[in-house]
Structure 1
Amino acid sequence: MSETRFTSLFFFFFFLFISIPITVIHSQTINDERTVLLNLKQQLGNPPSISSWNSSSSPCDWPEIYCTAGSVTELYLNEKDINSTIPPSICDLKNLTFLDLTLNFIPGEFPITLYNCSKLQFLYLSQNYFVGQIPSDIDRLSSLISLDISANNFSGNIPPSIGKLPVLRSLYMHQNLFNGTFPKEIGNLSNLEELGMAYNPFVSMEIPLEFGFLKKLWYLWMKGTNLIGEIPENFNNLSSLQQFDLSINNLEGPIPSGLFSFENLTIVYLFKNHLSNEIPREINALNLVEVDLSQNNLTGSIPEGFGKLQSLRFLNLFSNQLTGELPAGIGSLPLLRDFKVFQNRLSGVFPPEFGVYSKLEAFEVSENQFRGELPGNLCAGGVLQGLVAHTNNLGGEIPRSLGDCRSLLTFQLQNNNFSGEIPSGLWRSFNLSALMLSNNSFSGQLPSEVAWNMSRVEISDNKFSGEIPTGISSWSNLVVFKASDNLFSGEIPKEITNLSKLITLLLDGNEFSGELPSEITSWESLNTLNVSNNKLSGQIPAAIGSLPDLINLDLSENRFTGVIPYGIGNLRLTSLDLSSNQLSGKIPEQFDNLAYENSFLNNSDLCADDPKVKLRDCNSVSKLDRPKKSSSKYVAVIISLAISVSLIMFLTVFFIVRDYKKKKSSQYLETWKLTSFQRLNFSEWNILSNLVDDNLVGVGGSGKVYRIKLNNSDESVAVKKIGNCKKLDHKLEQEFLAEVEILGSIRHRNIVKLLCCISSEDSKLLVYEYMENQSLDKWLHGNKGSFSSHHAVLSWPTRLKIAVGAAQGLCYMHHECPTPIIHRDVKSSNILLDSEFKAKIADFGLAKMLAGHASSHTMSTVAGSFGYLAPEYAYTTKVDTKVDVYSFGVVLLELVTGREANSANESMGLVEWACQHSFKDESIVEILDPNVKESSYLKEMIMVFKVGIVCTRPSPLTRPSMKEVLHVLRSWCPEDGQEAKKVGSEFDVAPLLGGAGGTYFSGYRSEEGDNKVYNV
């Protein structure tokens, strides 16, 4: 045997010899770890989501497991519905380096059992139900590279020992209940790259100087952490910083000029690359990508260094007290996307380079003192979505280039000094939804066509002229149209009545003439109509009295004649002005009181019964106006004969008609089909025979609503008639079927009871229990004269009781129904109140049952009510129960502030307006409804306000479920829930606005024993 062959055989047998025990060892390890994992599965309650774990396969083949060299090293148990504590046996996986337990329901305190996992490097515990303090010996997890405990309910102090984790690179603790301090020792983490501490109610603290030593830190997120004092100057040591967020705090003083210069970085760069003495532009560009210092009290000017941040994409400095001019170089930054400096005291002109070198998406500079013209290239990149520059001293004309900007969503230049005509292309900018130009000197005429999605046009206080084009009928998505105080003339075209989504229409202070269009029944959502100070004539259209949501009506200073339509008296008006016209007759009795004493001035032919009203007394009208009596005997004879003949004819017709009606009614009933869902004490004839105008109580989007009193009983029912003399359209048919399908199959004390449905080919009737106190919106926003005058204002305990009741109904729909239900149209007008003010959810025409237990539903169209629609509804077809949570949050804000969803003020909805006051309790108190704002209720009202803010977060992932909302509301309502157990020595209601979800409420434990603690 040759020496070469011998050597080859030797090595072959040698490796064969040593491989056998290695294989045996690996096999034994797999068997042992499989046993550990199967025991772990059992200890976790055998979650269905890890059903693939079994005794016949290798753990390395399971989807939640990752192995290295035949041993389990990584364990992915995120979103597995785990609701038990972490068993100590998990550390029997001796080589475990990675553990992910996010998005579960794990209760209890920080799992110190993990101290035995000696090789653990990555630990993710976010979005669970952990409570208590972080243990003071957390540094025993000495191998940790990444730790994420965010979105839980940890409280107290962050211990100094957390600064003794030598290799830690990533630390996320945001969105918890830490109400103590955070340690300066975090600055000792020399390898730290990511630090997230946002949305925690820490005690007021300054930023430790030691944080300036984190030279490897590239991500710093301390938003909403109650910081005070100034930004440390030594932050110029943070040479790796890319994302820098200290927003929503109480920081003051100037922005450190050295923060964005980093001379030390320049020296290192030059030294390492042996370059010449000339410093390249890229040196001062640094790495910063996002800077957010908004919503603080910062003063001084914006440092020139901002103009050198060549990687900067997002710059948020809004809501501070900054002064001075913008740095010249800021307009030339090549990657800048979002530029938001609104609500400061900035001045000067804009750098003309804005938009030339970067693709701007948002340019928001409103409420400053800028002057000059708008930069002409803001949309040069073709992606500008928002241009918000209102309330400045800007002037000139709108750059023609903005007329070609198809990406625009909102365009706001109100309260400036602009002039000239609007670029024609701007009106039709493809995605534009809001065009707000009021209080300028714009001129020109209105176009016949606007962008398909245009919902808000505000052009008041300008010099627009001409007629409103008949093409306005194509502005089909218009919700708000404000065109007051311009030079418009001609008649108001009847085509404007086709705008069925209108909520606000202001045409006052123009030169309109002719009659007001009479066919306005399509304005079913209109709540404000103002055409005052024009030259309109003719009679007031009677159809105005049938507009169900109208609360503000101003027709003053015109030339209207005739009597005031009786139906106007049935409106729930909060303001009415018909003064300075030529009206005659008696005012509607609902307005015959001092609440409307100034509503009818300067109408010489109007009269009133109440002598206190500043009108003629109707009782003193001259008798000359009455018909004179005739004494002629011939007339008496003629009258007698006429009465006799009439009596004979009447009796003849009576018997003929009686027989005909009997026959006809039996045939008529045969065309109707009754389907009952409850035990009934009435027949279909009781309902059908009483569908008369005297019983009409309302007109809704899908038909009329009647109150029908049952025979021989004090009981009444509400009947909704869907359809009319015409055949039902597809939409109404679908709404009827949805209502029947859902209400016919569910029962709950906080959901309106459907008694039966009665249907024919042309009409459908839905018969409900009658709710004596009507809908919540009538009590919150109804006319003080015609509705609230004989009812007390809703007290705060009653409002809270209503909130709990409505939440119980929605919670049942979302979490307790065999098939979850999305309502899709939650609003105050769809919350009905019985005689004891118990709330019940109503109107399920838009509701959808989720298939099986699906988490979302795909919609073909957007449905719901303006002001209550969740943001995601506008850009996605998949919706889930969180759209109802958003809408319910709006209702909570209505209950607390007394304001309407769509008219908090002239420029924004209730949600946006409320968010601006949500950062401090003092600011919240200022906007509470003065009718119920008493010292004994302030804490409850603030809490409910904050729940409303949390429910209306922009992202559905960050909103709580209705079950979580209900737990919090119940804890404050003794009638509907017992007092819950407080957590900790002192209860603190701290707003956690924004963030990535998981923690919503604090201070009270759940009634279901799940150990979750809720924070507002």
Structure 2
Amino acid sequence: MSKLPLSSLFFFSFFLFLSIPLKVISQEINTERTLLLNLKQQLGNPSSLASWNDSSSPCNWPEINCTADSVTQLHLSNKNISVSIPPTTCDLKNLTFLNLSYNYITGEFPTVLYNCSKLQVLDLSQNLFVGPVPDDVYRLSTLTYFNIGANNFSGNLPPSIGRLSKLQTLFTHQNLFNGTFPKEIGNLSNLEELGLAYNEFVPMKIPHEFGQLRKLKYFWMIQTNLIGEIPEFFNNFSSLEHLNLAQNNFVGTIPSQLLLLKNLTKLYLYKNNLTGEIPRPIEALGLVEFDLSENNLNGSIPEDFSRLQSLVFFNIFSNHFTGELPPGLHRLPNLTTIRVFQNKLTGVLAPEFGLHSNLEEFDVSENQFSGQLPENLCAAGVLTGLVAHTNNLSGQVPESLGNCSTLRTFQLQNNKFSGEIPQALWTTFNLSALMLSNNSFSGKLPSHQLSWNLSRVEISDNKFSGEIPVEIATWSNLVVFKASNNLFSGKFPKEITNLSRLITLLLDGNDLSGELPSEIVSWRSLDTLNLSSNKLSGKIPAVIGTLPDLLNLDLSENEFSGEIPPEIGTLSPRLTFLNLSSNRLTGKIPIQLENLAFEKSFLNNPDLCADDPVIALPSCSYKPHEPKKSSSKYVAIVAACLAFLVILSTLFIVREYRRKKRRHCLATWKLTSFQRLNFTEGNILSNLTENNLIGSGGSGKVYRILINRSGESVAVKKICNAKKLDCKLEKEFLAEVEILGNIRHSNIVKLLCCISSEDSKLLVYEYMENQSLDKWLYGNKRRSMSEMGSVRRAFLDWPTRLQIAVGAAQGLCYLHHDCPTPIIHRDVKSSNILLDSEFKAKIADFGLAKMLSRHATTHTMSVVAGSFGYLAPEYAHATKVNAKVDVYSFGVVLLELVTGREANRADENMSLVEWAWQNFSRKRPIVEMLDPEITEATHLDEMIVAYKIGMVCTRASPATRPSMKEVLHVLQMIMERKELEVTLA
């Protein structure tokens, strides 16, 4: 064998020396690939990780980042992972970055990650973790970024978080923390971002130790139950860019130097109890969003705002500011939103408003502004909301606003405007609300086609004249038409009966004549009709009595003749107001109207009569006196005495029987408690009387029972049968007890105890002061508001409705994703969403709920359960359903909240879902389908997004519907006022 030359040997040795580390690196990659493939298998082999295979380097996989040919980062966000984090994750020895956000991981805090010795970034947000954050979380000592937001962690935040000394970012927002947050967070001297928002901590002040966080750029503690004054130490946070302390309970003034922070771009202090003036001078020239709304601030608005060239949102509404708007505010180039309503501002609105920026929302209502309306508000062509009502504005409406095609709402009511409305305004395509009442506008309604998008027209108390044109029929989506106290004349237009969506029609105080057409039968949704003080004649159409939702009817001071149609009598159970006075009506009034509720409804009709003397009308028949018969009188007295004795004896016997029965019943009742109780079964059983009855349903009656002198009440649901409890009701009872007895969630109604006997079952719940959601949405159509418990307002505004939607979604999200055994409710509807005194929503009525096994995706139902209008379409053809049936039903509730329409009768014979999807197929603008009672420019975008969520939830295919977790996330983002786009396709 020949020997190698020395030079060749040297080259071979050098090559061998170089190849050694290469082999080591190759072995390390192979080892990590094996680890990752095992990890993929432990994660359930999600299809989203299809690129992970044994034939390629992990460094080339989309979810992996490598440094020096070693895996350092795992990007596993939104991978549909639902299993616990495998301990082998930390076998990746160089792992510094782990993102597991937007998955479905359950269980308690993953302490297995303590073994990841080099971990710097950990994102566990948007999952389903529960329980407390452990005290030994400090073992993640290398972390610089820690995000556990949007989970279901509860209890206290442990002080040991303050030992994570390298942290630069800490987010714990949107959890169920109900304890305290630690002052030790102030020890995190490197912290730049801190977000504890949307947690129900016990009322706390911001610890003074937080003043040590001098590097903070982002401080987010909206809705965290903070109290006291806003600390002055914020003045020292020179790096602060974003400060959000909104929706807390702060008192006192704004820190004197807060607006001197030059890096500050976003400041949110709305919905607190702050007083005093806005501190000046303002040196935060980079401010983009500024919101101090809904406080008790006063004084004038500093002129320094005119220097904020980056300002986009300027919200100071619902305060007590005085004086004029800053003189240069209209020149700011980036300003899109001005909301200064509900203050005491004066002066003239600068005519250049809108000329120098892309103005979208302009709300100066409920102030004391004078002068004319700026003519350049829509100069950029993007103005959607012009709200200037309740001021002292005068002059004419600028012609330029008539050509503003983007306008959705136009509100100038309660001012001193005059002249004619620009003709183009009546036909503006996107306009849905035109509100001009209580001014001095004149002219006629246009005789050409009007905007079919309009849903609300209010022009009362003006000087509009002439006939109401036949073109009014083109307002096909009109819901509210208020035109009282104008100068309209001519015949009552038959074409107005084409407006089948009308809910409110006010034409009183005009000079209309002629007869009412029988076609008014098309007003199936009408609840208020006022045609008083006109010259209408003929008979009152009988079809008025067939209008199913009519609550208020005023036809007084006209020239109607003939008899009152008997059909109007059938309206009496639901009529809250009726006035037929000052007409020429004759004959007997319908017998149903002969009661004190209508005693002033028929005045000044000389030829009307009644049989009941409580109505101030002549008697319809003469009844001659019969001769007195003394013998009959004595016989009657004797009979009455005997009857009295019989009744007295009977009452005594019944009382003794009830005493014995009650003693026997108390012995046979069994009480099973789930909470600490401050009442006994005797308190409950003795008060199950008709006087305490508040509702009834297919499975029993519901009582409100007072349990102590302080006014505390409970709700008792009684399920009983004449004999032994039948099988179906027994199952419903056991289902509620099994589920509610083990549930602890703030958005699930609390079951206090159950009381059972051989033939009756009682479920005792916490009492919900504001009863059920459906009574608030439709109670004014179904019953008087006096029947609705502790009512604070006659309707629900949009922020309250959104709060209810989020609360209900949180309850369902808990049932579907966080319970040890997932639960399908199966009967989600507005009547099963209860509201406490603060309008916090709680899911109720689990009689139809079924338990699901942890690993099952479907559950076989023996019968179709639920309520019409809320049933998912798969119920009709499948015996197996999953949690998506609740998503569908929740989508219906969301559509109810946004549209104000009932689930099972939105339009003629269509359900709400059918109605919504039909309008979508016809490409009808969503803004026209929103509830006109709450269609305000300030919340329009939020309502549109919520409407789209409702549509997505009610898709026909269960697979295309989102999970409740996804729905909740989007709704919470709406509450944060984040811009969202939801696609319906």
TM-score, L = length of structure 1: 0.61
What CA distance in whole angstroms lies between the structure 1 residues aligned with 2:402 and 2:325?
26
Equivalent residue, structure 1, for 2:575: 573
Cα 1:285–1:618 shift into 2, 3 Å: same
C-alpha displacement of 1:998: 12
Cα 1:146–1:394 shift into 2, 3 Å: farther
Residue identity opposite 2:595 in structure 1 = N
C-alpha displacement of 1:335: 0.9
Aligned-residue RMSD, C-alpha: 5.3
C-alpha displacement of 1:849: 9.0
Cα 1:473–1:847 shift into 2, 3 Å: farther
The superposition leaves residues 777-798 of structure 1 with CA deviations (integer Å, 9 ceiling, x where unpaired) of 999446769xx99xx98999xx
Cα 1:453–1:851 shift into 2, 3 Å: farther
Equivalent residue, structure 1, for 2:454: 454
Cα 1:884–1:346 shift into 2, 3 Å: farther
Equivalent residue, structure 2, for 1:702: none
The superposition leaves residues 309-341 of structure 1 with CA deviations (integer Å, 9 ceiling, x where unpaired) of 221212222333444433223222211112222
Cα 1:21–1:117 shift into 2, 3 Å: same
C-alpha displacement of 1:474: 0.7
Equivalent residue, structure 2, for 1:303: 302
Partner SS state of residue 34, structure 1 = helix
Equivalent residue, structure 2, for 1:995: 972
Equivalent residue, structure 1, for 2:508: 508
C-alpha displacement of 1:93: 1.4
1:924-943 aligned within 5 A: none
Partner SS state of residue 378, structure 1 = coil
1:569-968 aligned within 5 A: 569-571=569-571, 572-620=574-622, 780-781=779-780, 841-843=867-869, 868-869=897-898, 908-909=933-934, 954=946
Equivalent residue, structure 1, for 2:494: 494
Partner SS state of residue 36, structure 1 = helix
Residue identity opposite 1:395 in structure 2 = S
What CA distance in whole angstroms lies between the structure 2 residues aligned with 1:885 and 1:254?
52
What CA distance in whole angstroms lies between the structure 1 residues aligned with 2:242 and 2:603?
62
Residue identity opposite 2:89 in structure 1 = I
C-alpha displacement of 1:205: 3.6
Partner SS state of residue 32, structure 2 = helix
Partner SS state of residue 620, structure 1 = coil
Equivalent residue, structure 2, for 1:316: 315
Relative contact order, CA 8 A, sep 6+: which one is greater? 1
Equivalent residues of 1:255, 1:298 under 8 A apart: no
C-alpha displacement of 1:176: 1.8
C-alpha displacement of 1:952: 11
C-alpha displacement of 1:549: 2.1
C-alpha displacement of 1:437: 1.8
The superposition leaves residues 673-730 of structure 1 with CA deviations (integer Å, 9 ceiling, x where unpaired) of xxxxxxxxxxxxxxxxxxxxxxxxxxxxxxxxxxxxxxxxxxxxxxxxxxxxxxxxxx
Equivalent residues of 2:315, 2:339 under 8 A apart: yes
Equivalent residue, structure 2, for 1:93: 92
Equivalent residues of 1:102, 1:128 under 8 A apart: yes
C-alpha displacement of 1:566: 2.6
C-alpha displacement of 1:457: 0.9
What CA distance in whole angstroms lies between the structure 2 residues aligned with 1:616 and 1:50?
87
C-alpha displacement of 1:470: 0.9
Residue identity opposite 1:396 in structure 2 = G
Equivalent residues of 1:475, 1:499 under 8 A apart: yes
What CA distance in whole angstroms lies between the structure 2 residues aligned with 1:560 and 1:579?
10
Cα 1:183–1:885 shift into 2, 3 Å: farther
C-alpha displacement of 1:473: 0.7
The superposition leaves residues 236-293 of structure 1 with CA deviations (integer Å, 9 ceiling, x where unpaired) of 4444544443322233444456333447999xxxxxxxxxxxxxxx995633222233
Equivalent residues of 2:235, 2:258 under 8 A apart: yes
Equivalent residues of 1:459, 1:483 under 8 A apart: yes
Equivalent residue, structure 2, for 1:673: none
Equivalent residues of 1:151, 1:998 under 8 A apart: no
Cα 1:328–1:424 shift into 2, 3 Å: same
Size of the alignment, in residue pairs? Answer: 716
C-alpha displacement of 1:349: 3.4
Partner SS state of residue 89, structure 2 = helix
Equivalent residue, structure 1, for 2:367: 368
Is residue 2:327 matched to residue 1:328? yes
Equivalent residues of 1:870, 1:954 under 8 A apart: no
What CA distance in whole angstroms lies between the structure 2 residues aligned with 1:521 and 1:452?
21
The superposition leaves residues 598-651 of structure 1 with CA deviations (integer Å, 9 ceiling, x where unpaired) of 2222222222232222223223399xxxxxxxxxxxxxxxxxxxxxxxxxxxxx
What CA distance in whole angstroms lies between the structure 2 residues aligned with 1:514 and 1:113?
83
Residue identity opposite 1:559 in structure 2 = E
Q: Give structure 1 stretches of 5+ with no counterpart.
A: 1-5, 267-281, 623-747, 751-774, 797-802, 874-882, 888-900, 917-949, 963-990, 1000-1016
Residue identity opposite 1:908 in structure 2 = E
Cα 1:165–1:586 shift into 2, 3 Å: same
1:547-562 aligned within 5 A: 547-562=547-562
Indicate the percent of aligned positions where both proteins have the same amino acid: 59
Q: Give structure 2 stretches of 5+ with no counterpart.
A: 1-5, 266-280, 625-730, 734-773, 792-803, 818-823, 835-844, 850-864, 903-911, 917-928, 955-967, 977-985
Residue identity opposite 2:202 in structure 1 = V
The superposition leaves residues 635-673 of structure 1 with CA deviations (integer Å, 9 ceiling, x where unpaired) of xxxxxxxxxxxxxxxxxxxxxxxxxxxxxxxxxxxxxxx
What CA distance in whole angstroms lies between the structure 2 residues aligned with 1:202 and 1:133?
13
Partner SS state of residue 424, structure 2 = helix
Cα 1:827–1:130 shift into 2, 3 Å: closer
Is residue 2:404 matched to residue 1:405? yes
Equivalent residue, structure 1, for 2:770: none
Residue identity opposite 1:619 in structure 2 = S
The superposition leaves residues 330-375 of structure 1 with CA deviations (integer Å, 9 ceiling, x where unpaired) of 2222111122222333333334443222111112222333333333
C-alpha displacement of 1:483: 1.2
What CA distance in whole angstroms lies between the structure 1 residues aligned with 2:777 and 2:308?
54
Equivalent residues of 1:241, 1:287 under 8 A apart: no
What CA distance in whole angstroms lies between the structure 2 residues aligned with 1:89 and 1:885?
50
Equivalent residues of 2:122, 2:146 under 8 A apart: yes
Equivalent residues of 1:215, 1:238 under 8 A apart: yes
C-alpha displacement of 1:200: 1.9
C-alpha displacement of 1:219: 3.6
What CA distance in whole angstroms lies between the structure 2 residues aligned with 1:530 and 1:513?
14
Residue identity opposite 1:149 in structure 2 = I
C-alpha displacement of 1:433: 0.9
What CA distance in whole angstroms lies between the structure 2 residues aligned with 1:60 and 1:76?
12
What CA distance in whole angstroms lies between the structure 1 residues aligned with 2:158 and 2:320?
35
Equivalent residue, structure 2, for 1:178: 177
Residue identity opposite 2:397 in structure 1 = I
Partner SS state of residue 996, structure 1 = helix
C-alpha displacement of 1:556: 1.5
C-alpha displacement of 1:845: 11
Equivalent residues of 1:128, 1:998 under 8 A apart: no
1:23-422 aligned within 5 A: 23-47=22-46, 49-50=48-49, 53-55=52-54, 57-184=56-183, 186=185, 189=188, 191-207=190-206, 217-256=216-255, 258-262=257-261, 284=283, 286-422=285-421
C-alpha displacement of 1:56: 5.3
What CA distance in whole angstroms lies between the structure 1 residues aligned with 2:298 and 2:162?
33
Cα 1:210–1:312 shift into 2, 3 Å: farther
The superposition leaves residues 56-112 of structure 1 with CA deviations (integer Å, 9 ceiling, x where unpaired) of 554445443333443322223333343343232211112222222222332333323
Partner SS state of residue 369, structure 2 = strand
What CA distance in whole angstroms lies between the structure 1 residues aligned with 2:914 and 2:232?
44
Equivalent residues of 1:886, 1:953 under 8 A apart: no
Cα 1:541–1:467 shift into 2, 3 Å: same
What CA distance in whole angstroms lies between the structure 2 residues aligned with 1:614 and 1:474?
44
Residue identity opposite 2:461 in structure 1 = D
